[in-house]
């Protein structure tokens, strides 16, 4: 079972030998069992991979994340045809009723806003109670866009002098990096369970191959926010991310969460969330959808 990831920031060669990933850098080889790996971030343009490793990663369900010249995640490689009921699952997705989709989105938005309130509470920031009050007004499908109202309160409470759309702000650079990593592990879990990631509940863009991942990620985002808050404390917000910043963000899938009282890593939580979605979909019961909660020890770090 996959339980770890790789973040590779130096030139080298990645190959496959005896079921292990061989990372060759500066004359040294490191071997890691492929079955342990859930995601790999390729964070140097001088890295090379063998086709046998690419094929093995696809067979094992490893998410490969590539980065651009600015070291930001720019592409995601996932396997297809990994589930024996893929066509049946896709048919179920396509036939979901509008009320079911709307009720799932309501649950996701409430979980997201609740997690945002927990993050503010544990950092002793304002608006936590306001967010909890706002969450009580989310209706089926969030037709009144309560999510956006909560977001305005959340960002103004969490960060000072912050504009979410400002791409030059260090905090936004880190947020976008972390969100991309979590989006990848959620997409990985969806594909592994036979879902078609482009068929979402609320996100329905015809140009987005990960609409469903972008639905489910919403209550996961706050784990990125917690880490970025700590990394940016007393930092110059006009600066760039360091390698150390990227390494810490790359390790987010190992952060701790709780789902219905049980403790999970975010990597395992993504799989549990997707499994619960499958159950909910099969019996048309959105209340079975299980979503992560920001644990106290996570929010407070």
Predicted confidence band at 1 (pLDDT cuts at 50, 70, 90)?
Answer: low
Q: Which pLDDT does position 300 carry in this prediction?
A: 44
Q: What's the CA gap between 154 and 27, in Å, rounded?
A: 48
The CATH architecture that domain 4-77 belongs to is: Ribosomal Protein L15; Chain: K; domain 2 (3.100)
Q: What's the CA gap between 124 and 78, in Å, rounded?
A: 39
The mean per-residue pLDDT over the stretch 272-298 comes to 90
The mean per-residue pLDDT over the stretch 226-235 comes to 94
106 vs 233, which has greater pLDDT?
Answer: 106
User: Would strands 73-77 and 63-67 be described as parallel, antiparallel, or unpaired?
Assistant: antiparallel
Q: Which pLDDT does position 160 carry in this prediction?
A: 93
Name residue 37's beta-bridge partners: 4
For residue 301, pLDDT beyond 70? no
Is residue 195 within 8 Å of residue 263, measured between CB atoms?
no
Is residue 231 within 8 Å of residue 203, measured between CB atoms?
no
- Please write the tens of the pLDDT for every residue from 121-152: 989 998 999 999 999 999 999 999 999 999 99
Predicted confidence band at 275 (pLDDT cuts at 50, 70, 90)?
Answer: very high
Lowest average pLDDT, out of 14-18, 50-54, 82-86, 242-246, goes to 82-86
Burial 241-277 (b: 16+ CB within 10 A, else e): beeebbebbbbbbebbbebeeeebbbbbbbbbbbebb
Is residue 69 within 8 Å of residue 45, measured between CB atoms?
yes
Q: Which pLDDT does position 234 carry in this prediction?
A: 85
Distances 209 to 35, 84, 180, 191 between C-alpha atoms, Å: 26, 21, 14, 12
Q: Over the chain, what is the mean pLDDT?
A: 93
- Please write the tens of the pLDDT for every residue from 167-203: 999 999 999 999 999 999 999 999 999 999 999 999 9
- DSSP conformational letter for 286: G
User: Would strands 13-17 and 48-49 be described as parallel, antiparallel, or unpaired?
Assistant: parallel
The CATH architecture that domain 86-299 belongs to is: Up-down Bundle (1.20)
Q: Which pLDDT does position 129 carry in this prediction?
A: 95
Name residue 246's beta-bridge partners: none
For residue 86, pLDDT beyond 90? no
List, as one string, the DSSP characters of 98-117.
HHHHHHHHHHHHHHHHHHHH
Distances 15 to 21, 23, 53, 108, 290 between C-alpha atoms, Å: 6, 7, 5, 40, 37
Domain ranges of the chain: 4-77, 86-299
Q: What's the CA gap between 1 and 122, in Å, rounded?
A: 33
Q: What's the CA gap between 37 and 40, in Å, rounded?
A: 8
Q: Own/partner pairs for 277-284, CB < 8 Å, 24+ apart?
A: 277/104, 277/195, 277/216, 278/89, 278/193, 278/195, 280/104, 281/92, 281/93, 281/96, 281/100, 282/92, 284/97, 284/100
14's tokens: 């990645």
Count Cβ atoms within 10 A of the Cβ of residue 91 and give its class: 0-12 exposed, 13-18 middle, 19 or more buried: exposed
Report which secondary-structure segment, H or E, holds 134.
helix 128-135
């Amino acid at each position: 079972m996959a339980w770890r990831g790789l973040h590779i920031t130096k030139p080298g060669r990645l190959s496959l030998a005896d079921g292990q990933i061989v990372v060759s850098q500066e004359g040294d080889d490191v071997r890691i069992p492929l079955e342990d790996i859930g995601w790999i971030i390729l964070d140097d343009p001088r890295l090379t991979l063998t086709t046998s490793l690419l094929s093995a990663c696809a067979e094992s369900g490893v998410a490969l994340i590539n980065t651009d010249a600015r070291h930001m995640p720019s592409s995601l490689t996932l396997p297809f045809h990994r589930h024996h009921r893929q066509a049946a699952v896709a048919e179920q997705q396509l036939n979901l009723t509008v009320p079911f989709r709307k009720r799932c989105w309501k649950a996701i938005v409430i979980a997201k806003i609740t997690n945002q309130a927990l993050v503010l509470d544990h950092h002793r920031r304002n608006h936590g109670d306001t967010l909890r009050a706002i969450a009580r007004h989310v209706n089926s499908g969030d037709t009144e866009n309560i999510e956006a109202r909560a977001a305005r309160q959340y960002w103004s409470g969490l960060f000072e002098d912050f504009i979410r759309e400002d791409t030059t702000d260090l905090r936004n650079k880190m947020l976008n990096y972390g969100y991309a990593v979590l989006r990848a592990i959620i997409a990985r879990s969806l594909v592994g369970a036979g879902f078609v990631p482009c068929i979402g509940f609320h996100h329905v863009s015809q140009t987005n191959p990960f609409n469903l991942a972008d639905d489910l990620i919403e209550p996961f985002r706050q784990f990125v926010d917690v880490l970025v808050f700590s990394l940016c404390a007393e930092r110059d917000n006009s600066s760039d991310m360091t390698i150390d910043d990227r390494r810490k963000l790359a390790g987010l899938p190992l952060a701790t969460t709780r789902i219905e009282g049980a403790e999970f890593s975010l990597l395992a939580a993504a799989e549990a969330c997707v499994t619960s979605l499958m159950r909910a979909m099969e019996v048309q019961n959105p209340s079975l959808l299980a979503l992560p909660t920001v644990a106290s020890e996570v929010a407070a770090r």
